[in-house]
């Protein structure tokens, strides 16, 4: 059920034992909103723990209290009054869902979140979930400390491409300015988020070599198999390297995290990639979306390319004359080994 921000604040006030989480494959917004919420609720006297069912990328571990984010262990339980799910719908929190049967408060900025589980406050106009948490602080009369500000600013900055993406609104910049006044040093955050080891740069070079163009250059894809994934510290920012290719309308990064589990990130210059992701069980924003495909890398690749092509044909972004090879033209005839 969709609720107001005021009611979300009331539910947080009413709970004493709270478990906070975000989506698997966490980005700066997921981690930043989780850590900010952890600190805010603790200042309110709540007993709070934070879990994310995935590793935290190294360049986000410098955020205050990042060491307190746990990964759930098998058969582990937490006695909670409330499960707070941030930056995603509850079906994307992995094994955290097994930790508690508490009622769910879902806070998100993704338009594809339907609110099927628990109470949902969603603001699809917000640039990031961290922007919503910033607003929530005012509802809760919570002071924004420097540590909270650092977490919120990191989420805002990374989800807007450091305020370059189209989701950057006047309210986003006003929030960022307030966070800077609270003690954030933007240059330090950008340096930390963008830092890469020499090994990562070498791996980046290998990843770029996998980039291919499809549909007459209107779609670009990068592919990271399991062996390469084991070596990379983070895939954050990789998709932006191909998103800027001249003529590309949709860019995607397909990562084989483990056998028969492939993660997809998509970006566009106008194509509604959230609808493409939704067809594959995911969601997101008009120009930034993702999903998980539970198939091997080769099958996932063909399924993803076909789905992108079908959507773009249906919505007038592609014509058969744009296709460069028979595989792209005969989308409907493509078959998969495990279907």
pLDDT for 317:
87
pLDDT for 336:
36
pLDDT for 330:
46
Report whether 86 contacts 104 (CB < 8 A): no
The 10 Å CB-count burial string (b at 16+, else e) for 68-85 is ebbebeeeeebebbbbbb
Q: What are the pLDDT digits (tens) for 9-26? A: 999 999 999 999 999 889
Q: Is 70 exceeded by the pLDDT of residue 143?
A: yes
- In 3D space, the residue among 294, 192, 285 whose CA is nearest the CA of residue 234 turns out to be 192
Backbone angles phi, psi at 331, to 5 degrees: -60, -45
What are the start-end ranges of the E strands in 52-184?
Answer: 69-70, 82-86, 104-108, 119-122
The 10 Å CB-count burial string (b at 16+, else e) for 291-309 is bbbebbbebbbbbbbbbbb
Q: What are the pLDDT digits (tens) for 81-113? A: 999 999 999 988 999 999 999 999 999 998 888
pLDDT for 165:
85
181-185 mean pLDDT: 97
41-47 mean pLDDT: 97
192-208 mean pLDDT: 84
* β-pair partners for 48: 18
pLDDT for 149:
98
Report whether 153 contacts 36 (CB < 8 A): no
222-231 mean pLDDT: 88
How far, in whole angstroms, is CA 44 from its chain's centroid? 28
Report whether 34 contacts 152 (CB < 8 A): no
pLDDT for 267:
94
The strand pair at 17-22 and 82-86 is best described as parallel
Provide the percentage of residues in the chain whose pLDDT is more than 90: 68
pLDDT for 320:
64
Backbone angles phi, psi at 291, to 5 degrees: -165, 175
Q: Is 50 exceeded by the pLDDT of residue 282?
A: yes
Backbone angles phi, psi at 85, to 5 degrees: -105, 120
Question: Has this prediction a pTM greater than 0.75?
Answer: yes
162-172 mean pLDDT: 91
273 — pLDDT class (breaks 50, 70, 90): very high
47 — pLDDT class (breaks 50, 70, 90): very high
Task: Name which of 31-45, 89-103, 316-330 the model is least confident about.
Answer: 316-330
pLDDT for 324:
52
* β-pair partners for 212: 221
pLDDT for 200:
79
pLDDT for 329:
42
Q: Is 50 exceeded by the pLDDT of residue 331?
A: no
pLDDT for 332:
40
């Amino acid at each position: 059920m969709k609720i107001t921000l005021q009611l979300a604040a009331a539910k947080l006030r009413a709970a004493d034992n709270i478990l906070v989480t975000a989506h698997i494959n966490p980005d700066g917004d997921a981690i930043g909103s989780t850590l900010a919420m952890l600190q805010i609720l603790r200042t309110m006297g709540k007993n709070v723990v934070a879990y994310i069912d995935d590793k935290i990328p190294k360049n986000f571990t410098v955020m205050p209290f990042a060491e307190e984010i746990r990964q759930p262990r098998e058969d582990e339980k937490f006695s909670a009054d409330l499960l707070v799910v941030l930056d995603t719908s509850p079906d994307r929190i992995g094994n955290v869902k097994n930790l508690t049967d508490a009622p769910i408060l879902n806070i998100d900025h993704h338009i594809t979140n339907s609110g099927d589980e628990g109470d949902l406050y969603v603001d699809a106009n917000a640039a990031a979930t961290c922007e919503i948490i910033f607003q929530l602080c005012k509802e809760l009369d919570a002071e924004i400390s420097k540590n909270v500000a650092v977490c919120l600013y990191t989420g805002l900055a990374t989800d807007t491409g450091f305020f370059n993406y189209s989701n950057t609104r006047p309210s986003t910049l006003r929030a960022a300015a307030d966070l800077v006044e609270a003690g954030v040093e933007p240059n330090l955050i950008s340096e930390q988020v963008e830092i890469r080891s020499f090994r990562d740069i070498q791996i980046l070079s290998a990843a770029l070599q996998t980039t291919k163009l499809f549909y007459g250059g209107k779609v670009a894809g990068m592919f990271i198999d399991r062996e390469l994934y084991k070596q990379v510290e983070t895939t954050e920012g990789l998709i932006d390297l191909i998103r800027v290719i001249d003529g590309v309308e949709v860019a995607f990064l397909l990562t084989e995290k483990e056998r028969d589990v492939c993660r997809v990130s998509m970006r566009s210059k106008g194509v509604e990639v959230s609808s493409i992701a939704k067809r594959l069980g995911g969601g997101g924003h008009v120009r930034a979306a993702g999903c998980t495909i539970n198939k091997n890398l080769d099958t996932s690749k063909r399924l993803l390319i076909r789905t992108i092509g079908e959507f773009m044909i249906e919505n007038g972004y592609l014509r058969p004359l744009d296709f460069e090879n028979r595989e792209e033209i005969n989308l409907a005839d493509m078959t998969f080994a495990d279907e």
